[in-house]
């Protein structure tokens, strides 16, 4: 009997010690599964594992990469929480009788973050479509004597030539081969925010314990009430980083040479004479 009691005590202690990590493994497995799915889809369509984030110029798109990463992290976390709630509350008579909500709540900042991740790639696509097709420079305005506009896009021959360096290098003929500071800044802020929110998700999984499970079974309440809210400051920082990235797409060009007084009229007269001849 003493041996049985020692085994029972050891099993209970092991359960309590292991329970806070119970959902970390499913979360990581869900992340890996979505990454593998995206890589398989990209390879099947373009022949490159980065295909799902390759843009029309056969380059790795920074905005599309952010959208895929945010979608992967948020969908994985929500799926694990929702499925655990469903499994834990399915056998709870209290949950069935009261008709309590099963799925976790989603804060408005998460919806805004997903909207931002979807809007930035659409905006970058519109800017790319507005670029000239050849090596010409399309001026959009003058600031401080310099033309501010769009240069022709830098384009790879095939999607297989896309590389991670595309996330840091300029994407037009004016900045090709040079490190773009706005893109580097965006990458650094994106990595910071992604790591911070992933840590918040993992921390929320560590709140799971035997007492929480027993309380949920008796009261019929959700184990995971809501996904972690990133907060307004988090969202503001993400918005500023992406705004700087979009502004950086308007490449400063060389100012046009100043013409002496009367030069424009003389040029027009020469054209008229040539037309009469």
Q: What are phi and psi of 169, to 5 degrees?
A: -95, 155
In terms of Cα–Cα distance, which of 199, 207, 226, 200 is closest to 22?
207
Residue 131, pLDDT score: 75
Least confident of 12-26, 32-46, 109-123, 235-249: 12-26
Would the pTM count as exceeding 0.75? no
State the alpha helices, DSSP H only, in the chain. Answer: 2-18, 24-46, 62-89, 93-98, 108-130, 181-205, 210-219, 232-247, 263-276
CA distance 154 to 96: 59
Q: How does residue 257 score in pLDDT terms, banded at 50, 70 and 90?
A: very low
Please give the residue that has the higher pLDDT: either 130 or 99. 130
CA distance 201 to 224: 11
Give 52: exposed, middle or buried? Use CB within 10 Å, 0-12, 13-18, 19+. buried
Sheet (strand 251-253) strand order: 137-143, 146-151, 251-253
Residue 216, pLDDT score: 59
Residue 259, pLDDT score: 45
CA distance 199 to 201: 5
Q: What is the phi-psi region of residue 78: left when phi exceeds 0, alpha when psi lies from -120 to 50, beta otherwise?
A: alpha
Over residues 17-30, the mean pLDDT reads 70
pLDDT at residue 48 greater than cutoff 70: yes
Least confident of 48-57, 66-75, 237-246, 266-275: 266-275
Instruction: Give pLDDT tens digits for 138-191.
Output: 666 555 555 666 777 788 888 888 888 888 888 877 777 888 888 898 999 999
What's the distance, CA 219 to chain centroid? 38
Q: Show Cβ contacts of residue 28 under 8 Å, excluding neighbours closer than 6 positions.
A: none
In terms of Cα–Cα distance, which of 159, 154, 178 is closest to 168?
178
Q: Find the distance separating the first CA and the last CA of the chain, reported in whole Å.
A: 118
In terms of Cα–Cα distance, which of 10, 49, 18 is closest to 209?
18
In terms of Cα–Cα distance, which of 120, 84, 130, 76 is closest to 103?
84
Instruction: Give pLDDT tens digits for 216-244.
Output: 555 666 778 888 888 889 999 999 999 88
Residue 147, pLDDT score: 61
Please give the residue that has the higher pLDDT: either 101 or 47. 47
* DSSP 8-state class, residue 160: G
Give 160: exposed, middle or buried? Use CB within 10 Å, 0-12, 13-18, 19+. middle
Which 3 state secondary structure label does DSSP give 123? Answer: helix
**Which whole-number Å values give the CA distances from 55 to 84, 130, 162, in the listed order?**
37, 15, 9
What is the pLDDT of the chain when averaged over all its residues? 75
Please check whether residue 235 is in contact with residue 112, taking contact to mean a CB–CB distance below 8 angstroms.
yes
Residue 136, pLDDT score: 62
Map out the domains of the chain as residue ranges: 2-257
């Amino acid at each position: 009997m003493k041996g049985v009691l020692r085994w029972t005590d050891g099993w209970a202690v092991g359960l309590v010690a292991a329970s806070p990590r119970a959902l970390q493994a499913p979360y990581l497995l869900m992340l890996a599964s979505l990454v593998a799915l995206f890589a398989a889809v990209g390879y099947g369509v373009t022949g490159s594992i980065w295909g799902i984030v390759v843009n029309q110029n056969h380059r790795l798109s920074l905005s599309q990469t952010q959208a895929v990463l945010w979608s992967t992290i948020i969908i994985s976390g929500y799926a694990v929480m929702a499925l655990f709630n469903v499994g834990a509350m399915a056998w709870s008579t209290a949950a069935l009788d009261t008709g309590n909500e099963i799925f976790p709540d989603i804060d408005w900042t998460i919806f805004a973050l997903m909207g931002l991740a979807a809007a930035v790639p659409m905006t970058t696509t519109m800017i790319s479509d507005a670029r000239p097709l050849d090596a010409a420079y399309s001026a959009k305005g003058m600031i401080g004597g310099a033309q501010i506009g769009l240069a022709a896009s830098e384009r790879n021959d095939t999607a297989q030539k896309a590389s991670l360096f595309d996330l840091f290098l300029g994407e037009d003929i004016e900045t090709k081969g040079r490190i773009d500071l706005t893109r580097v800044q965006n990458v650094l802020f994106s990595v910071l925010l992604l790591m911070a929110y992933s840590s918040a998700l993992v921390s929320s999984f560590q709140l799971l314990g035997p007492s929480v499970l027993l309380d949920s079974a008796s009261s019929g309440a959700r184990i995971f009430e809501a996904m972690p809210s990133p907060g307004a400051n988090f969202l503001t920082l993400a918005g500023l980083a992406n705004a700087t990235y979009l502004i950086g797409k308007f490449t400063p060009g060389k100012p046009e040479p100043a013409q002496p007084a009367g030069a424009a009229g003389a040029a027009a007269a020469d054209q008229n004479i040539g037309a009469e001849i």
